[in-house]
Amino acid sequence: MKAYVFPGQGAQFVGMGKDLYDHSPIARQLFERSNEMLGFSITDLMFSGTDEDLKQTRVTQPAIFLYSVILTRVMGSQFAPEMVAGHSLGEFSALVAAGALSFEDGLTLVAKRAQAMQHACEQEPSTMAAILGLDDAVVERACSEIPEIVVPANYNSPGQIVISGSVKGIEIAVEKLTALGAKRALVLKVGGAFHSPLMEPARAELENAMDATAFSQPVCPIYQNYTALPSVDPAQIIANLKKQLTSPVKWTQSVQHMLKDGAAEFYEVGPGSVLQGLIRKIDRNVKAESANIGV
């Protein structure tokens, strides 16, 4: 079975999507529509901005979403998913690609999500750290023993987990996990503690927007971050999506469930190749490659 996966924040690069814009009338139309909806020229920032421009959450999230979703539209009948999943922001790309959300509703929710997360980051200094070379259970236990907000945020692959929390909590956790034998414990250059309780203000803000949005049954199961399990029921999809911002991204578990359910080929739709690398770490024998096509 063919599984299509969609990357999240951090996969962006200057120039992404310009080939689609230049050579595909469908892409050009969708990009121009997006500029109108967002109220600023995201294409200028994507195609010829700076790295700093693209690192702004309000730009990064819609930019990656647009590149991923528009690529599926350009692929046309070549895009034939039997299951989909997205990493954090990528879950919204996956939902639109699988027909659970319209393009316009997806972009609107992503833009609101980015703004809500930015607001939450400004309320309390917070950050994240990548922990390599420890069992998940060791990281979970260490985080639970720290008298600060520190939680697992991304289960990326066996031995690779990202933690999220207050600045002080992350400092304590990095020191503690290094002492426990982590190969690396690296504080990340991010705006805040994504996928942690510190995103509660953003979750509440986004929940209202989701309640006002029409969701449909997708053309194939979507393996959601919150449960790592397949969903096709719109009500269940919304319920899981509402919990995504304050809960960990269960990427390792999602891929494992997809493999168990018959996934034989994984195609990453969007900028970069991060997810392909993670999938190969989860199963070194599986086919994982980019879905990019010549246009």
Q: Is pLDDT of 122 > 90?
A: no
Q: What is the pLDDT of residue 230?
A: 98
CB count in 10 Å sphere of residue 23: 12
Q: DSSP secondary structure string, 173-238?
A: HHHHHHHTT-SEEEE---SS-TTSGGGHHHHHHHHHHHHTS-----SS-EE-TTTSSEE--HHHHH
Q: Are the CB atoms for 214 and 105 separated by under 8 Å? A: yes
Domain residue limits, the chain: 2-122+197-290, 126-187
Q: Mind telling me the catalytic residues? A: 88, 195
Reply yes or no on whether the pLDDT at 249 is more than 90.
yes
Tell me the fold of 126-187. Alpha-Beta Plaits (3.30.70)
How does strand 150-157 pair with strand 160-166? Answer: antiparallel
Q: Which of 94-108, 117-131, 158-172, 228-242 has the lowest mean pLDDT?
A: 117-131
pLDDT above 60 (res 295): no
CATH class of 2-122+197-290: alpha beta
CB under 8 A, 24+ apart: contacts of 237-245: 237/95, 237/100, 238/210, 241/91, 241/95, 241/210, 242/203, 242/206, 242/207, 242/210, 243/203, 244/88, 244/91, 244/195, 245/113, 245/117, 245/194, 245/195, 245/199, 245/202, 245/203, 245/206
Closest CA to 191 of 49, 65, 56: 56
Per-residue pLDDT at 57: 87
pLDDT at 123: 87
Q: How far is CA 250 from CA 86, 149, 164, 169, 244, in A?
A: 10, 19, 14, 22, 10
Q: Is the pLDDT of residue 40 over 80?
A: yes
Say yes or no to pLDDT of 13 above 70: yes
Higher-confidence position of 118 and 64: 64
Per-residue confidence band for 271, with pLDDT thresholds at 50, 70 and 90: very high
Looking at residue 171, its pLDDT comes to: 96
Lowest mean pLDDT: which of 8-12, 86-90, 258-262?
8-12
Please give the Cα distance from 186 to 259 (Å, whole number). Answer: 30
Q: How confident is the model at residue 293 (pLDDT cuts 50, 70, 90)?
A: low
Q: Over the stretch 199-224, which tens digit does the pLDDT of each residue have?
A: 999 999 999 999 999 999 999 999 99
pLDDT band per the 50, 70, 90 thresholds, residue 55: confident
Average pLDDT over residues 220-239: 98
